[in-house]
Amino acid sequence: MYNDNPTLEGIRQIDEQRQGEVYFQQMPEEQATGAARHFYIESYGCQMNFSDSEIVASILAKAGFRPTRQLAQADLILINTCSIREKAEETVRKRLRLFDRIKQQRPGTLVGVLGCMAERLKAKLLEEEKLVDLVVGPDAYRDLPKLVATAEEGGKGVNVFLSREETYADISPMRLDSNGVTAFISIMRGCDNMCSFCVVPFTRGRERSRDPFTIVAEATELFERGYRDVTLLGQNVDSYKWQHPETGQWVNFAQLLEMVAQIHPDLRVRFSTSHPKDITDEVLYTMARYENICKYIHLPVQSGNSRILKLMNRTYDREWYMERVEAIRRILPECAISTDVIAGFCTETEEAHRDTLSLMEWANFSMAYMFYYSERPGTLAARKLKDNVPLEVKKRRLQEIIELQTRKSLEHNLADVGKVFKVLIEGNSRRSDQHFKGRNSQNKMLVFPKEEGLNPGDYVWVQVDEATSATLLGHIVDAPQEEMHK
């Protein structure tokens, strides 16, 4: 548990007490120099939040702030928040209470909330709980320097305006806590889907796509700096759609994928997240044409029951989802598919729950993000549906989903034993500096002994010797004959 009365000297120890579901992100290490002001940032939730934090870091750096890993050194403490699930909000509140105690010990320190919670809970955080000095929504990060100045003068720095145009296309993100090999690139912002359980359309605004030429330029610059794996991010990448202001020509997601893949064969391209109603055969055939577009698709299903899917306003049914999975298997036989699953949505019966289990069994997902339903204020479900599945039932159903997926993930990975994969080295294994870790095209993590002369960013061929439900274990081998003759 977090210490209720921390000293500044104990802050680093407190920060090491992380909960497994919380994603933590810090800036690269910097040393204090002179009177420079320093900022510290944590990110929670989805990859988009991590990408946004890199935009924030760039904006603050241009305003004269320097990054720090040390909470005790920070003049400005920022937390980039998530409202998708109740537990994420609870974790953020714990952190804010800690930051408030730091402020009491270091007068003049400012605390700010960014992202989805900022928009949704601005009044509560500022006026009722008085935990923060800044509240900045996802489309207002350019205003941060001005808002900080307002807070320094004793005012409240608030901007949660949702834009129909902002994409931050002209800002070069400062890569945070980077391994120098993998990076995120935001290709669009907001969401036009109104899934009844989701707060994103209300916290991130309407969907708008970024200029593809700025995306290609960012990916090219990353490759020239040594990065070898980029993930194109959007709430629904398959609905990416940009129109040239002069020619009127449209660019869709399949075309954007191809543009990025053509930068260099050694630049791997990934993307997230796909929506089952929008992913097209054109995207799948584009993936098939390019070896460096990774054969992995995250395709959230949420439920395997058509009635529940309709209540969720997912705009597809069980049969549609299964057809899309069949198309992926037909066009991309080696593609791994992962998913999201929600247990215990409003009015879910045991029969509907069994439909979800049966679809998971059939689809053979390589991995899944699994949660029980928690009602989010302001959503369509909160306004129109009754959250009538008891918590103990939700938890039991979730446990059954987890147990099934753990078994399927293990089966999926055991099927790879003996196979040889091209792996991009990302760095040292978490458990041993004598082993590298890296992912294959199917987004599976492999761990293997180091060999002399290899470094992060290099490609190697790894034969799988063992497997767990989460990791493949193997050793480096020579490239297959067919690869050597390419």
DSSP assignments along 337-373, one per residue: EEEEEEES-TT--HHHHHHHHHHHHHHT-SEEEEEE-
Q: Residue 375, exposed/middle/buried by CB under 10 A (0-12, 13-18, 19+)?
A: middle
Q: Residue 155, exposed/middle/buried by CB under 10 A (0-12, 13-18, 19+)?
A: exposed
What was the pLDDT predicted at 129? Answer: 60
Q: Which one-letter amino acid corresponds to residue 194?
A: M
What was the pLDDT predicted at 453? Answer: 96
Q: How far is CA 79 from CA 8, 307, 313, in A?
A: 18, 38, 31
Q: Are residues 45 and 87 in the same domain?
A: yes
Q: Are residues 245 and 393 in the same domain?
A: yes
Q: Are residues 430 and 410 in the same domain?
A: no
Q: Are residues 126 and 210 in the same domain?
A: no
Contacts of 31 (CB under 8 A, 6+ apart): none
> Is 437 inside a domain boundary?
yes
What was the pLDDT predicted at 485? Answer: 54
Q: Give the residue from 414, 431, 460 where a domain finishes.
A: 414
Q: How far is CA 390 from CA 348, 352, 374, 485, in A?
A: 10, 15, 11, 60
Residue 127 pLDDT > 80, yes or no? no
Q: Give the residue from 126, 159, 192 where a domain finishes.
A: 159
> Is 172 inside a domain boundary?
no
Strand partners, 231: 184, 270
CA distance 361 to 366: 11
pLDDT, tens digit (0-9, with 9 covering 90-100), for 21-60: 333 344 444 444 446 899 999 988 788 888 889 999 999 9
> Is 244 inside a domain boundary?
yes
Say which CATH number the domain at 475 has. 2.40.50.140
pLDDT bracket for residue 202 (50, 70, 90): confident
> Is 32 inside a domain boundary?
yes
DSSP SS3 for 229: strand
Average pLDDT, the chain: 88
What was the pLDDT predicted at 18? Answer: 32
Count of domains observed in the chain:
3
pLDDT, tens digit (0-9, with 9 covering 90-100), for 278-310: 999 999 999 999 999 999 999 999 999 999 999
Say which CATH number the domain at 226 has. 3.80.30.20
What was the pLDDT predicted at 173? Answer: 87
Q: Residue 297, exposed/middle/buried by CB under 10 A (0-12, 13-18, 19+)?
A: buried
Q: Are residues 464 and 316 in the same domain?
A: no
User: According to DSSP H, which parts of 276-331 are helical?
Assistant: 281-289, 306-311, 318-331
What was the pLDDT predicted at 23? Answer: 34
Say which CATH number the domain at 67 has. 3.40.50.12160
Q: Which one-letter amino acid corresponds to residue 25?
A: Q
Q: Are residues 57 and 14 in the same domain?
A: yes
> Is 187 inside a domain boundary?
yes
> Is 20 inside a domain boundary?
yes
What was the pLDDT predicted at 84? Answer: 67
> Is 176 inside a domain boundary?
no
**Residue position matching structure tokens 């990054």:** 67
pLDDT bracket for residue 170 (50, 70, 90): confident
Percent of residues, the chain, with pLDDT higher than 70: 90
Q: Are residues 150 and 37 in the same domain?
A: yes
Cα within 13 Å of Cα(377), Cβ side: 7
Q: Are residues 50 and 115 in the same domain?
A: yes
> Is 177 inside a domain boundary?
no
What was the pLDDT predicted at 331? Answer: 98
Residue closest to 185 by CA, chosen among 132, 130, 240: 240
Contacts of 270 (CB under 8 A, 6+ apart): 229, 230, 231, 232, 294, 296, 443
CA distance 269 to 281: 18
Contacts of 54 (CB under 8 A, 6+ apart): 173, 174, 175, 176, 184
Contact 109, 129 (CB under 8 A): no
> Which range in 6-15, 107-116, 309-318, 477-486 is most confidently predicted, on average pLDDT?
309-318
Q: Are residues 266 and 396 in the same domain?
A: yes
pLDDT, tens digit (0-9, with 9 covering 90-100), for 328-386: 999 999 999 999 999 999 999 999 999 999 999 999 999 999 999 999 888 999 999 99
Residues 4-20 have a mean pLDDT of 35
Residue 276 pLDDT > 90, yes or no? yes
Cα within 13 Å of Cα(244), Cβ side: 7
Residue closest to 301 by CA, chosen among 316, 282, 287: 316
Q: Are residues 387 and 442 in the same domain?
A: no
Q: Which one-letter amino acid corresponds to residue 136?
A: V
What was the pLDDT predicted at 162? Answer: 85
Q: Are residues 124 and 207 in the same domain?
A: no
Instruction: Dig out the tokens for 130 from the structure.
Output: 């008085």
Q: Please, what is the end-to-end C-alpha distance for the chain in angstroms? A: 55
Domain holding 18, by residue range, is 8-159
Q: Are residues 52 and 153 in the same domain?
A: yes
Q: Give the residue from 387, 414, 441 where a domain finishes.
A: 414
